[in-house]
Amino acid sequence: MKNLPKVELHLHLEGAAPPAFIRGLAQEKNIDISEIFDENGGYKYRDFNHFLSVYEAACTTLTGPEEFRRLTAAVLEESSEQGVLYGETFLSPDFCGGGDLGAWREYLAAIQEAADASAAAGGTELRGIITPIRHFGPEAAKPAAKCAVETVGDFITGFGIAGAEDAGEPRDFAYVFDMAREAGLHLTAHAGEWRGPDHIRDTLRDLRVARLGHGVLAANDPVLVDELAESGVMLEICPGSNVFLGVYDKLSDHPIDMFVEKGVKVSVSTDDPPFFHTTMTKEYQDLADTFGWDAARFRDMNIDAMNAAFCDAATRDRMIAKLKEN
C-alpha cells in the first residue's frame, strides 16, 4: 500500500504537524502547552470542539515564516514517504501573520520554498488552499480572503473554509467566496462533517463550491446523494478522521463505499493525520480491508481526484499519466 501512488486533496498544514515537532518548538520558545499532550507524547483532546482549541494552542508555537518552512518540509517529507504524488493543503492566514497581507507574503514565500524543494527532489507536489476559520467569524474571513486574492497564482489555487461547522451559516461567508471566485480561485468548503443535508445544500447554493470537505452526512438523504452524483461535486473524504472523531463508530459504518456505488466522486485524505493517528497508507489499507478496494479502485479514485484538483492542466495531465503507469 505504501508504494501505491496517492493523491491527497484535504490536509490541514498545521493539523499535520507531528506532536514532537510542536513540542520541540514549544521548548525552543518557552511556551507552556504541556496540557495538549498525553503521557505518550501524542495530542490529547476530548471532542471536536476541544480538538479545535488544542489545534489552535499548537499553532501558537508556529511564530514565524521559518517555523512554517520547517513545518511544510516535515509534512512533505512524510507525504512523499506515503507515496503521495500530488497534494493540496489548507493554509490559514489567521495563523500566518493574523491576516496581515505583508506578513502573509513572507509566510507564503517560506511555505513555497519548502514546496518547491519537495517537487525538485521528486517528492510530493503541493498546492495551497487559503482557508479562513469559520468560528473566527465572517469579518475575520475578509482579510484572509484579501490575502488569497492578492497571492493567487501557480501555488495558491484554492479557497475554502474550515473550523466549527455550526458557527454561522454559509451565506455569512458568501461575500468572501465571491471575492475568491472573482479572483479565479477554485472553491471548496467543509460541510456535512457535523451538519446534515440542509447545511450541504445551503453550502452548495450560497458558496457555489466544486468540492466539499467531508460531505459525508449527505448520505442521510438519498436525493442529495443523487444530486451530488449528477453534479460531479467531489467529496474530500477523510475516513479515519470521521471514525476517530466519532462521526461513525467504525469504518464499516462509513458511507464512502455507498457513495462510490452511487456514482458520487470521492477522494481519500487524512485531514490532520497525527491528531487521528493515521497516515495515507493506513487509510488505504483500512479501505482495502473493510470494503475490498483494490489497486484499480484506488487508481480510478485518484484519477477522479486529479480531475477535481485545483491545479493547471499540465500538472493534471502529468499526474494522471503517472497514475496510469501503475
**145, amino acid identity:** A
Neighbours of 43 (CB within 10 A): 22
| Number of residues located near Zn ion, criterion CB under 5 A | 1
Nearer to Zn ion, 9 or 323 (CB): 9
Distances (CA, A) of 282 to 38, 152, 235, 241: 22, 33, 19, 12
Task: Say which of 78, 125, 193, 283 is annotated catalytic.
Answer: 193
Q: Decide which of ligand ADE, Zn ion, none touches 236; Cβ closer than 5 to 8 Å per partner kind.
A: none
CB closest to Zn ion, residue no: 271
Nearer to ligand ADE, 97 or 132 (CB): 132
Nearer to ligand ADE, 26 or 162 (CB): 162
Give the DSSP H/E element, type plus range, for residue 52: helix 48-59
Q: Give min distance, CB of 7 to Zn ion, in A.
A: 16
Position 12 contacts ligand ADE (CB under 6 A): yes
Catalytic residue at 193? yes
Q: Give min distance, CB of 90 to ligand ADE, in A.
A: 7
Find the binder of ligand ADE among 67, 88, 193, 257 (CB under 6 A): 193
Q: Parallel, antiparallel, or unpaired for β 186-191 and 156-159?
A: parallel
Q: Which of 132, 128, 98, 100 is nearest to 113 (CA)?
A: 128
Position 125 contacts Zn ion (CB under 5 A): no
Rg of the chain, C-alpha, whole Å: 18
Draw the binding track, 139-178, toward ligand ADE (x: CB under 6 A; -: no contact): -----------------------xx---------------
Find the binder of ligand ADE among 1, 9, 15, 26 (CB under 6 A): 15
Which cell numbers hold the place of 20? 514532537
Cα(273)–Cα(280) distance, rounded to whole angstroms? 8
Q: Long-range contacts: 194-201, Cβ < 8 Å, 24+?
A: 194/48, 194/165, 194/166, 194/247, 195/165, 195/166, 196/220, 196/221, 197/221, 197/224, 199/165, 199/170, 200/224
Q: Give min distance, CB of 270 to Zn ion, in A.
A: 9
Give the DSSP H/E element, type plus range, for residue 176: helix 174-182
Q: Decide which of Zn ion, ligand ADE, none touches 107; Cβ closer than 5 to 8 Å per partner kind.
A: none
What residues make contact with Zn ion under the rule CB under 5 A? Answer: 271
What residues make contact with ligand ADE under the rule CB under 6 A? Answer: 12, 15, 55, 162-163, 190, 193, 241, 271-272
